[in-house]
């Protein structure tokens, strides 16, 4: 139950960031910055996922983007402003658990697949990043599943 609550909270944050990003950055006169880099899990590129930068203080603008084949890039107009950020990373390609049970009938509810990325990188993230004005802001995130 507690895991489901965390999943719902994390999904809500991602959704709000994505929706907020639709209007942010264009015409707001803030010094948005481009951010890019790599995301790996156990030294392998993360196939598909999402990365989110959340401001750690009262200043800063949340930003997020897709991770594909271990790479992410957030363009300047949608990017974060300079400052310190908490970073959350989730996978959108959690593999199905191998079982001998048949699939549920059509229309039946299915349990969500567990995210292979540990909570310390998403719902309980300890990852941080510093976004600087006028810099390349290439920030890599090597993660370990154990």
The angle formed by the CA atoms of residues 138, 131 and 31, to the nearest 5 degrees, is 115
Q: Which residues contact 128 (CB under 8 A, 6 or more apart)?
A: 56, 84, 85, 86, 87
- CA dist 32 to 14, 66, 82, 132, 137, Å? 19, 18, 7, 10, 12
Torsion of Cα atoms, 69 then 70 then 75 then 79, to 10°: 140
Token pair listed for 66: 């897709």
Query: What is the C-alpha separation between 83 and 103, in angstroms, rounded?
Result: 47
Q: How confident is the model at residue 128 (pLDDT cuts 50, 70, 90)?
A: very high
Q: Which pLDDT score, from 0 to 100, does residue 16 have?
A: 47
| Higher-pLDDT residue of 40, 12 | 40
Residue 81: Cβ within 10 Å count: 21
* Model confidence at 17: pLDDT above 80: no
Helix, coil or strand: residue 145: coil
**Residue among 123, 61, 63, 130 nearest 91 (CA):** 123
* Mean pLDDT value of segment 17-25: 48
* Model confidence at 78: pLDDT above 50: yes
Instruction: Yes or no: say if 57 and 51 are a contact pair by the CB < 8 Å rule.
Output: no
Q: Which pLDDT score, from 0 to 100, does residue 23 have?
A: 46
Q: How confident is the model at residue 50 (pLDDT cuts 50, 70, 90)?
A: very high
The structural domains of the chain, with segments of one domain joined by +, span 2-95+112-141
Tell me the CATH class for 2-95+112-141: mainly beta
Q: Which pLDDT score, from 0 to 100, does residue 109 have?
A: 75
The secondary element (H helix, E strand) that includes residue 65 is: strand 63-68
- CA dist 50 to 33, 43, 60, Å? 18, 18, 19
Q: What is the pTM of this model?
A: 0.70
* Model confidence at 133: pLDDT above 90: yes
* Model confidence at 2: pLDDT above 60: no
């Amino acid at each position: 139950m507690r895991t489901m609550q965390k999943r719902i909270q994390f999904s809500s944050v991602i959704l709000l960031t994505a929706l907020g990003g639709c209007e942010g950055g264009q015409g707001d006169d803030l010094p948005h910055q481009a951010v890019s880099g790599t995301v790996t899990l156990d030294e392998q590129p993360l196939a598909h996922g999402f990365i989110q930068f959340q401001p750690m203080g009262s200043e800063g603008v949340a930003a997020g983007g897709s991770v594909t084949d271990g790479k992410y890039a957030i363009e300047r107009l949608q990017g974060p402003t300079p400052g310190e950020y908490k970073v959350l990373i989730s996978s959108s390609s959690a593999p199905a658990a191998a079982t001998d049970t048949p699939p549920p009938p059509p229309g039946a509810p299915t349990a969500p697949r567990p995210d292979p990325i540990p909570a310390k990188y998403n719902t309980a993230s300890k990852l941080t990043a510093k976004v600087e004005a006028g810099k390349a802001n290439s920030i890599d995130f090597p993660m370990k599943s154990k």
